[in-house]
């Protein structure tokens, strides 16, 4: 896949999704960019803001298989990964794949399941395989998890462990839409729009095309100056006095990969600092843990990341 085709396809994918997801451009770009960077997405927002719709629209536009798991307190790991059952005809065990064997998985309200069930996703998100009864089975390509959670309601929820959070390439937040956008959404529903029926969307790519786009993004050049800029941003989260736990080197890699996708979407063969900056908060906000004193003062991870971004010198890079 060449640069022009990548840019054209990226634009078409975004336009196709925007037909049903109104006024959430940053969310669309973030989800699409993360998947093309071979990553997973955590989407946080109040109910009714279109988190599930975004995942379904993305799967339809990409032409990928899609499955949804509603995470609940009684959900078991085998409900996610699948299990071996006794076949009475052969007197042997047959593996029945779980819903995780898909290309795009929506883990809806992931924080409603206990840590034991959440951990069933760890191997799949890291190694893109599932091991059951000692047998490892590869997941289809491309494979991506889009998980949602509600930041308001805490009763009956289980905070995601740090190891689980770190496996999400980005964390995207969804805010209430402006008044004009909300009017458009309501008008669309008054005219018969059904969010459960996305048959009007056309698949822009095939799964094979998505894999090609992922490979092309990895070829985008990242100069040493940009690598130094990325590493300095991430390392400053470990030295910040208000942050108890900073981001790991995995965050540096994630920041580089997302910047490569942005550069590729604009038809460039190299990364600039302007490709890095928009992804700093989505990549870092779920990977830093503030000191309790900072939380009591009302300091947020986004606020501290903004301060780090402003205090870090921007390198000058020429193509």
Nearest partner of 53 among 18, 26, 102, judged by Cα: 18
Average pLDDT over residues 272-277: 96
At residue 27, the 3 state secondary structure works out as: helix
Q: Cβ contacts of residue 276 below 8 Å, gap of 6+?
A: 226, 229, 230, 233, 255, 259
Bridge partners, residue 66, by sequence: 104
What six digits make up the tokens of 104? 């795009």
What six digits make up the tokens of 251? 């965050």
DSSP H helices, 240-279, are 249-265, 273-276
What six digits make up the tokens of 212? 């090609």
Residues 97 and 79: their CA atoms lie apart, in Å, by 9
In the CATH scheme, what is the homologous superfamily, with its name and number, of domain 1-180? Answer: P-loop containing nucleotide triphosphate hydrolases (3.40.50.300)
pLDDT band at residue 319 under the 50/70/90 scheme: low
Please state the separation of Cα 31 from the chain's center in Å.
5
pTM value is 0.92
Please state the separation of Cα 64 from the chain's center in Å.
16
The pLDDT of residue 116 is 85
Residue 155 confidence (pLDDT) above 70: no
What number of CA atoms fall less than 13 Å from residue 312's CA on the CB side?
26
Nearest partner of 243 among 180, 289, 275, 197, judged by Cα: 289
**Radius of gyration, alpha carbons of the chain:** 20
Contact between residue 240 and residue 308 where contact means Cβ atoms under 8 Å apart: yes
Average pLDDT over residues 223-244: 94
Cβ neighbours of 88 (radius 10 Å): 7
The pLDDT of residue 86 is 79
Q: What is the pLDDT of residues 245-270, one digit of tens each?
A: 999 999 999 999 999 999 999 999 99
Q: Are strands 144-149 and 41-45 parallel, antiparallel or unpaired?
A: parallel
Average pLDDT over residues 141-162: 83
Cβ neighbours of 298 (radius 10 Å): 7
Q: What is the pLDDT of residues 110-137, one digit of tens each?
A: 988 888 888 889 999 999 999 988 899 9
Residue 153 confidence (pLDDT) above 70: no
% the chain with pLDDT above 90 = 68
Contact between residue 34 and residue 170 where contact means Cβ atoms under 8 Å apart: yes
Q: What is the pLDDT of residues 55-88, one digit of tens each?
A: 999 999 999 999 999 999 999 999 999 988 877 7
% the chain with pLDDT above 70 = 98
Domain 220-313 sits in CATH at 1.10.8.80
Domain ranges of the chain: 1-180, 220-313
Per DSSP (E only), the strands in the chain are 41-45, 66-70, 82-87, 92-97, 104-108, 129-132, 135-138, 144-149, 170-174, 243-245, 289-290
Q: What is the pLDDT of residues 85-108, one digit of tens each?
A: 877 777 778 889 999 999 999 999
Q: Cβ contacts of residue 74 below 8 Å, gap of 6+?
A: none
Please state the separation of Cα 119 from the chain's center in Å.
17
Return mean pLDDT, the chain: 91
The pLDDT of residue 10 is 96
What six digits make up the tokens of 127? 């190694």
């Amino acid at each position: 896949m060449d640069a022009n085709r990548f840019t054209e396809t990226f634009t078409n994918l975004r336009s196709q999704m925007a037909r049903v997801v109104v006024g959430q451009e940053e969310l669309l770009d973030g989800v699409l960019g993360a998947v093309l960077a071979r990553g997973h997405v955590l989407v946080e927002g109040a109910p009714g803001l279109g988190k599930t719709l975004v995942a379904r629209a993305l799967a339809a536009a990409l032409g990928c298989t899609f499955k949804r798991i509603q995470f609940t307190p009684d959900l078991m790991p085998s409900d996610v990964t699948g299990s071996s059952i006794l076949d009475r005809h052969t007197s042997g065990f047959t593996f029945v794949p779980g819903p995780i064997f898909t290309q795009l998985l929506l883990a809806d309200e992931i924080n409603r399941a206990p840590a034991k069930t959440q951990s069933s996703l760890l191997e799949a998100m890291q190694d893109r395989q599932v091991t059951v009864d000692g047998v490892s089975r590869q997941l289809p390509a491309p494979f991506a998890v889009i998980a949602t959670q509600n930041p308001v309601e805490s009763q009956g929820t289980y905070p995601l462990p740090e190891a689980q959070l770190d496996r999400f390439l980005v964390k995207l937040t969804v805010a209430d839409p402006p008044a004009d956008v909300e009017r458009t959404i309501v008008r669309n529903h008054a005219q018969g729009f059904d969010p459960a029926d996305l048959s009007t969307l056309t698949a822009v790519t095939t799964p094979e095309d998505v894999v090609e786009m992922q490979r092309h993004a990895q070829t985008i050049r990242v100069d040493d100056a940009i690598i130094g800029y990325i590493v300095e941003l991430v390392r400053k989260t470990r030295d910040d006095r208000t942050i108890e736990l900073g981001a790991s080197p995995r965050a540096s890699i994630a920041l580089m990969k997302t910047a490569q996708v942005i550069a590729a979407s604009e038809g460039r063969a190299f990364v600039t600092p302007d490709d890095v900056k928009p992804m700093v908060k989505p990549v870092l906000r779920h990977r830093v843990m503030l000191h309790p004193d900072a939380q009591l003062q009302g300091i947020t991870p986004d606020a501290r990341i903004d301060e780090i971004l402003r205090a870090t010198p921007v390198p000058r890079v020429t193509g």
